[in-house]
C-alpha cells in the first residue's frame, strides 16, 4: 500500500534522527493493517533502546516469523545479558529474602497461638455476659417473644434488602456490559487516533515541503512578473514603430503584401514591380480604348426595350500573378465557401471602397492593391482575378446591377461578382467588409459575358441568385 510505504519511510527517518517514540507510532499503524509486514516488524524492534523492552519486541517478532535465524540470535543474546544481570541482582537479595522468610514464619506461629487464645477468651466472656443478663434482667418468656418478633422483622428486612441487592446486581451487570462495549470502542478509537496521529505527522512534513515550494514559486512569480512588465514596455515601444499586417510595401522593385486568413494565419505574397508597371501600361491602353476610341463598349437592353452602352470591365481581370498564393489558400481551405470567404476577407484587409471622382475608371488588380482601394468595378475586378487564379474550373463573371432597384433595374450603377462552382452559385458584394452575400432574394442585371452575345435578345437582364 502506498500509504504504508510512506509511513515506513517516514518512520525510518525518525529513527535516524532518534525520534524513537514517533517512529514507533508510525510502525504500529502499519502493523495494525499489515501484521505480516516483516520490514515494519524489523524496524519496530529498533525503536526500543532498553534490553528488556527490545527482548519483548523480539519475542513478538518471532511469534509472527518463527523461522528468522538472525532474530533468534539477537533475542538469545539479549536474554543471556538479562540473565547475567538477574543472577547478580539475585545474589544481592538472597540473604535479605531468607531473613525475611524466617521472620515471617515466626510471626505466623505467634499469630496463630494468639488467635486461639482470643477465641477461647471470647467464648468465656460471652457465657459470662449471658449469665449476667439472665441474672440481672429476670429473663422471661415475654422477652423471648419480643426477641422472636424482632428476629422476624430482621428476616423481612433482609428479604427486602436482598431484592434491592438483586436489582442492583442486575443493574451492575448491565453497566458492566456497557462498560465492556465502551472499552472496546475506546480501544478502537485509540487505534484510529494512532493512525490519525501518524497521518498527521506525515501531513505536517508534506505541508512544510509544500510551503517551501510555495515560497520558491512565489519568488519565481515575482521575477517573472517583473520580466513581463519589462517585456510589455518593450513590446509597446516596438508596436509604436512597427508596420503590422495587413500592409502593402514596395522595396528593391518588389511588391510585398502581408495579410491574415480567416483562421488568423499570416500570409505573405510578393510580385515583381515590373508586373505593376506592365499593368499600368496595359491599363492605360485599355482605358483609352474604352473612353477615347469607344472600343470594348457594348449595347445592353432593359426589359422595356430601351438600351444603354456599357464598358466591358472583364478585360481587366488578370489572375496570373495570383496563382501561387491563391493556390495555397485554396488547398488549405475546408470547403469552396471557406475559400471564397477567405479571398473576400483578403480584399477587405488590403483595400477600401472609394467611389471614382472622375467617373468609372477601371484598373488592373495590382493597380487597385497598390492604390489601397477602389470603387465597385475595381474591387470586383480584383476579387474575380483572385478567384479565377484558383486551381478549379468555375464560372466567374462581373454582374452589372442597379443598386437602388435590385429586381427591376433602371440605372446600372453597381458591379458585383457572380460565381458558379457547379454545385452552388454566389453573388458577392466586394465593397463591404461586413456582409459578403447580402442579396438573399436574388438580383436582376447583366453578366459581362452577355456583352459578346451576337443576338440582341441575349443582352437583356437576367435574374441570378
Is residue 195 domain-shared with residue 334, that is, in the same domain?
A: no
Taking alpha carbons only, the member of 429, 424, 422 closest to residue 443 is 429
Is residue 270 domain-shared with residue 357, that is, in the same domain?
A: yes
Which grid coordinates are listed for 5? 510505504
Is residue 384 domain-shared with residue 315, that is, in the same domain?
A: yes
What is the DSSP code (8-state) at residue 46?
T
Is residue 334 domain-shared with residue 433, that is, in the same domain?
A: yes
What pTM did the predictor assign?
0.51
Is residue 263 domain-shared with residue 192, that is, in the same domain?
A: no
Q: Are 346 and 336 in contact (CB under 8 A)?
A: no
Contact residues for 255 (Cβ-Cβ < 8 A; gap 6+): 248, 249, 270, 271, 272, 273, 275, 276, 366, 369, 370
Is residue 330 domain-shared with residue 211, that is, in the same domain?
A: no
Residue pLDDT tens, the chain, 465 long: 688 898 899 999 999 999 999 999 999 999 999 999 999 999 999 999 999 999 999 989 998 898 787 888 888 888 888 888 766 665 665 555 555 556 555 555 555 556 666 666 666 656 666 555 555 555 456 766 787 788 778 878 888 888 888 988 899 999 999 999 998 999 999 999 999 999 999 999 999 999 999 999 999 999 999 999 999 888 888 878 877 777 888 889 998 888 888 788 888 888 898 988 898 999 999 999 988 888 999 999 999 999 999 999 999 999 998 998 999 999 999 999 999 999 999 988 866 666 654 456 899 998 998 888 889 999 999 999 999 999 999 999 999 999 999 999 999 999 999 999 999 999 999 999 889 999 999 999 999 999 988 898 899 999 999
* Domain boundaries, position 165: 140-242
How high is the pLDDT of residue 132? Answer: 57
Taking alpha carbons only, the member of 92, 33, 87, 36 closest to residue 66 is 36
Q: What is the DSSP string of 251-265?
A: ETTEEEEEEE-TTS-
Gyration radius of the chain over CA positions: 58
Is residue 291 domain-shared with residue 377, that is, in the same domain?
A: yes
Q: Which residue has the cell 488467635?
A: 115
Is residue 236 domain-shared with residue 261, that is, in the same domain?
A: no
Is residue 299 domain-shared with residue 387, that is, in the same domain?
A: yes
Is residue 212 domain-shared with residue 299, that is, in the same domain?
A: no
Instruction: Indicate the SS3 state at residue 318.
Output: coil
How high is the pLDDT of residue 156? Answer: 82
- Gap between the Cα atoms of 48 and 41, Å rounded: 12
In a domain, 92, yes or no: no
Which grid coordinates are listed for 433? 467588409
In a domain, 91, yes or no: no
How high is the pLDDT of residue 269? Answer: 84
In a domain, 446, yes or no: yes
Given the DSSP bridges, would you call strands 414-420 and 297-301 parallel, antiparallel or unpaired?
unpaired
In a domain, 108, yes or no: no
**What CA–CA distances, in Å, run from 206 to 7, 29, 194, 211, 272?**
12, 18, 18, 8, 67
Q: Are 430 and 417 in contact (CB under 8 A)?
A: yes
Among the candidates 211, 242, 273, a domain finishes at 242
Is residue 322 domain-shared with residue 403, that is, in the same domain?
A: yes
Taking alpha carbons only, the member of 283, 293, 459, 441 closest to residue 370 is 283
Contact residues for 139 (Cβ-Cβ < 8 A; gap 6+): 133
In a domain, 162, yes or no: yes
Is residue 326 domain-shared with residue 408, that is, in the same domain?
A: yes
Q: What is the DSSP string of 351-373?
A: -EE---TTS-----HHHHHHHTE
Give ∠ CA 414-382-376 in degrees, rounded to 5. Answer: 20
Cβ atoms within 10 Å, residue 432: 13
In a domain, 277, yes or no: yes
Task: State the sign of the Cα–Cα–Cα–Cα dihedral 33, 36, 37, 43.
Answer: positive
In a domain, 308, yes or no: yes
In a domain, 6, yes or no: no
Which grid coordinates are listed for 158? 433482609
State the total domains in the chain: 2
Which grid coordinates are listed for 32? 495494525
Which grid coordinates are listed for 40? 515494519
Which CATH number belongs to the domain containing residue 458 in this structure? 3.10.620.30
Amino acid at each position: 500500500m502506498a500509504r504504508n510505504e510512506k509511513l515506513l519511510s517516514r518512520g525510518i527517518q525518525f529513527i535516524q534522527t532518534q525520534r524513537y517514540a514517533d517512529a514507533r507510532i508510525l510502525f504500529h499503524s502499519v502493523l495494525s493493517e499489515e501484521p505480516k509486514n516483516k520490514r515494519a516488524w524489523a524496524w519496530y524492534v529498533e525503536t526500543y533502546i532498553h534490553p528488556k523492552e527490545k527482548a519483548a519486541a523480539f519475542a513478538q517478532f518471532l511469534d509472527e516469523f518463527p523461522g528468522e535465524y538472525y532474530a533468534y540470535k539477537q533475542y538469545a543474546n539479549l536474554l543471556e545479558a538479562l540473565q547475567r544481570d538477574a543472577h547478580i541482582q539475585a545474589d544481592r537479595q538472597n540473604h535479605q529474602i531468607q531473613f525475611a522468610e524466617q521472620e515471617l514464619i515466626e510471626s505466623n506461629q505467634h499469630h496463630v497461638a494468639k488467635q486461639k487464645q482470643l477465641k477461647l477468651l471470647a467464648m468465656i466472656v460471652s457465657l459470662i455476659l449471658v449469665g449476667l443478663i439472665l441474672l440481672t434482667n429476670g429473663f422471661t418468656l415475654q422477652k423471648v417473644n419480643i426477641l422472636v418478633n424482632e428476629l422476624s422483622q430482621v428476616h423481612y428486612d433482609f428479604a427486602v434488602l436482598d431484592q434491592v441487592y438483586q436489582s442492583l446486581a442486575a443493574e451492575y451487570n448491565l453497566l458492566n456490559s456497557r462498560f465492556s462495549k465502551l472499552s472496546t470502542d475506546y480501544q478502537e478509537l485509540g487505534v484510529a487516533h494512532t493512525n490519525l496521529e501518524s497521518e498527521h505527522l506525515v501531513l505536517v512534513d508534506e505541508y512544510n515541503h509544500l510551503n517551501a515550494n510555495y515560497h520558491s514559486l512565489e519568488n519565481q512569480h515575482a521575477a517573472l512578473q517583473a520580466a513581463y512588465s519589462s517585456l510589455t514596455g518593450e513590446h509597446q515601444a516596438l508596436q509604436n514603430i512597427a508596420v503590422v499586417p495587413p500592409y502593402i510595401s514596395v522595396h528593391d522593385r518588389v511588391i510585398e503584401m502581408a495579410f491574415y486568413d480567416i483562421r488568423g494565419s499570416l500570409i505573405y505574397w510578393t510580385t515583381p514591380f515590373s508586373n505593376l508597371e506592365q499593368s499600368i501600361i496595359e491599363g492605360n491602353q485599355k482605358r483609352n480604348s474604352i473612353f477615347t476610341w469607344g472600343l470594348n463598349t457594348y449595347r445592353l437592353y432593359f426589359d422595356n426595350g430601351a438600351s444603354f452602352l456599357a464598358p466591358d470591365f472583364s478585360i481587366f481581370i488578370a489572375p496570373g500573378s495570383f496563382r501561387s498564393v491563391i493556390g495555397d489558400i485554396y488547398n488549405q481551405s475546408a470547403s469552396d465557401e471557406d475559400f471564397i470567404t477567405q479571398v473576400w476577407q483578403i480584399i477587405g484587409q488590403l483595400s477600401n471602397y472609394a467611389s471614382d471622382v472622375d467617373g468609372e475608371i477601371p484598373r488592373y488588380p495590382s493597380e487597385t492593391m497598390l492604390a489601397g482601394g477602389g470603387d465597385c468595378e475595381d474591387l470586383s475586378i480584383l476579387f474575380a482575378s483572385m478567384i479565377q487564379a484558383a486551381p478549379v474550373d468555375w464560372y466567374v463573371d462581373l454582374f452589372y446591377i442597379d443598386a437602388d432597384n435590385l429586381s427591376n433595374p433602371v440605372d446600372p450603377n453597381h458591379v458585383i461578382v457572380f460565381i458558379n462552382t457547379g454545385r452552388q452559385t454566389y453573388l458577392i458584394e466586394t465593397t463591404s467588409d461586413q456582409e459578403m452575400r447580402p442579396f438573399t432574394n436574388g438580383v436582376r442585371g447583366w453578366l459581362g459575358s452577355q456583352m459578346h452575345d451576337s443576338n440582341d435578345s441575349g443582352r437583356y437582364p437576367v435574374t441570378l441568385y
